[in-house]
């Protein structure tokens, strides 16, 4: 006979945190959001940690190399999407790893035979006033010179004037050679009163720039997540189909952590992937698994050797798995049960396996709720898809800026590997949609606001760390009427798009 759960499953929106005692030391500046990413034994230090409990989803519309760099700068990890060729995903990893902190790949490049008009179009597109001139107009071509706003005046120049006639040539520029450290590069910038310092390899090809404006930015951003070589830490998604070829390529490219990307993780397919990693690399390669929604699924993957376990099925904004298949569970209930199973496993074995809440996040405070319920970090898709750094196009819909956002189970992504159950190699039916999300601007500004809210809420609960929040948090279910009461009500709101 089928098993029936005694109570309905709940979402984050049905819970509130009840304030606790806050000491004088409990202020947002004292809150640490550092969290473990990989399993570890009691008394040991995790091999991999993050400075903030946020990772980006393994999705075409969310996580590419640009997102990898941007999120690592804030202290989190992006998991580069796996629904692409092995070669292109490995190259994405390499691009993130080559992007040393403070060393920026050139995004604005022209050939010497291009014109003032081309420079203006490029400036409008990228917003950058510094343009590299290379022999082929690429970011890695032979460096010939530089164009800045000081080099041309559009109102007094013929739009067809070639770049070669007004650029500052290489021989008149100060540059650095491959291998220069960030400290040395900054010393050159300040000693010579430069705004930008090109870094070239032995053949004269452009490698990167170091900008004066980034100096204060890096000093003011101590949360950057770096490896021992001062490269950004990055993750990547893998599937249960071509993992024997994909994983070695990603490891060779320098990936820091992997994640099995699947709609359902309580399967033998995931164990086979974990077995391959452990037999091939031992504990040197870190890999998460999932998704699961109960204690049995957690236990299975923990015993199979997963470094972290993702929790959640059907709760994502673009996911229609519950609608299409009738499979899933309310995200809050799933996190609560899996967290209890994680704590029981730790008590029995002395091994702590971090859990990642994946899906169901609508408001910023839902992240704090997920942590309070036992999650170690959260994976977000819709949240990150809204930002400049996501791969989706920015478009105008009904007069408002939007970003494209599509699910891996949609016809657009056609990521059949994520939903494969051993049948035909195709997406039989959709488990995701193609949509838009409101454009929100830069990742850094929005993440800073989210983290500020989280730190403030943690202080209200008397907690200065994630572990302390999980220990001290008190949560209450709320009624539908109480949810309405929690927002603005019984007033006429002023027009927030104009002047109040």
* 357 three-state secondary structure: strand
474 is catalytic: no
Helix, strand, coil % in the chain, rounded to nearest 5: 35, 20, 45
Where does 407-477 show beta strands of DSSP type E? 434-438, 475-477
Backbone angles phi, psi at 269, to 5 degrees: -60, -40
Tokens of 301: 């993957």
From the candidates 418, 455, 459, 461, which is the catalytic residue?
A: 418
From the candidates 26, 319, 356, 459, which is the catalytic residue?
A: 319
Other C-beta atoms lying within 10 Å of the C-beta of residue 308: 26
C-alpha to C-alpha distance for 10 and 360, rounded to whole angstroms: 10
DSSP H stretches of helix in 350-439:
364-372, 382-385, 416-419
Q: Calculate the CA 164 to chain-centre distance.
A: 39
- Cβ atoms 49, 37 nearer than 8 A: yes
C-alpha to C-alpha distance for 144 and 166, rounded to whole angstroms: 12
Q: Tell me the DSSP string of 111-142.
A: -TTSBHHHHHHHHHHH--S-EEEETTSSTTSB
- Cβ atoms 443, 388 nearer than 8 A: yes
Where does 179-284 show beta strands of DSSP type E? 196-200, 206-211, 235-238, 257-260
C-alpha to C-alpha distance for 72 and 66, rounded to whole angstroms: 10
> Which of 47, 168, 165, 74 minimizes the C-alpha distance to 113?
165
- DSSP state, 404? E
Cis peptide before 149 (omega within 30 of 0): no
418 is catalytic: yes
Using DSSP bridges, classify how beta strands 77-80 and 54-56 pair: parallel, antiparallel or unpaired: parallel
∠ Cα 341 342 343 (to 5°)? 90
Hey, which residues does 226 pair with through a beta bridge? 232
> Which of 329, 332, 334 minimizes the C-alpha distance to 370?
332
Contacts of 70 (CB under 8 A, 6+ apart): 78, 387, 389, 443, 444
By annotation, the residues acting in catalysis are 319, 418
């Amino acid at each position: 006979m089928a098993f029936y759960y005694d109570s309905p499953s709940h979402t984050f929106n049905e819970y509130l945190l009840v304030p606790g005692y806050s000491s004088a030391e409990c202020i947002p500046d004292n809150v640490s959001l550092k969290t473990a990413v990989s399993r570890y034994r009691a008394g040991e230090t995790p091999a991999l940690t993050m400075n903030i409990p946020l990772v980006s989803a393994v999705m075409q519309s969310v996580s590419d190399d640009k997102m990898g760099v941007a999120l690592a700068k804030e202290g989190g990890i992006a998991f580069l999407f796996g629904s692409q060729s092995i070669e292109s995903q490995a190259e994405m990893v390499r691009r993130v790893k080559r992007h040393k902190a403070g060393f920026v790949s050139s995004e604005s490049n022209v050939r010497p035979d291009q014109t003032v008009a081309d420079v203006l179009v490029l400036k409008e597109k990228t917003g950058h006033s510094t343009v590299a001139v290379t022999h082929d107009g690429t970011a890695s071509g032979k460096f010939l010179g530089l164009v800045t706003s000081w080099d041309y005046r559009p109102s007094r120049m013929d739009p067809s004037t070639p770049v070669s006639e007004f650029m500052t040539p290489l021989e008149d520029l100060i540059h650095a050679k491959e291998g220069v450290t960030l400290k040395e590069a900054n010393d050159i910038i300040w000693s010579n009163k430069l705004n930008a310092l090109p870094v070239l390899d032995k053949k004269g090809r452009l490698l990167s720039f170091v900008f004066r404006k980034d100096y204060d930015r890096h000093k003011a951003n101590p949360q950057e997540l770096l490896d021992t070589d001062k490269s950004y830490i990055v993750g990547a998604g893998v599937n249960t189909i071509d993992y024997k070829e994909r994983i070695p390529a990603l490891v060779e490219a320098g990936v820091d952590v992997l994640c099995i990307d699947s709609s359902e993780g309580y399967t033998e397919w995931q164990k086979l992937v974990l077995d391959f990693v452990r037999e091939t690399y031992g504990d040197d390669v870190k890999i998460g698994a999932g998704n699961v929604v109960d204690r049995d699924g957690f236990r299975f993957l923990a015993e199979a050797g997963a470094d972290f376990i993702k929790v959640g099925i059907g709760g994502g904004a673009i996911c229609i798995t519950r609608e299409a298949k009738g499979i899933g569970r309310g995200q809050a209930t799933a996190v609560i049960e899996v967290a209890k199973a994680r704590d029981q496993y730790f008590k029995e074995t002395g091994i702590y396996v971090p859990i990642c809440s994946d899906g169901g996040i609508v408001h910023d405070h839902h992240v704090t709720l997920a942590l309070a319920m036992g999650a170690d970090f959260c994976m977000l898709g819709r949240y990150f898809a809204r930002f400049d750094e996501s791969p989706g196009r920015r478009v105008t819909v009904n007069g408002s800026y939007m970003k494209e956002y599509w699910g891996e189970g949609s016809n657009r992504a056609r990521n059949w590997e994520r939903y494969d159950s051993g049948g035909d190699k195709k997406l039989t039916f959709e488990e995701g949609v193609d949509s838009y999300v409101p454009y929100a601007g830069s990742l850094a500004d929005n993440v800073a606001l989210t983290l500020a809210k989280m730190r403030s809420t943690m202080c209200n609960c008397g907690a200065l760390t994630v572990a302390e929040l999980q220990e001290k948090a008190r949560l209450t279910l709320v009624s539908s009427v109480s949810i309405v009461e929690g927002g603005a009500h019984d007033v006429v709101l002023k027009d927030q798009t104009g002047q109040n």
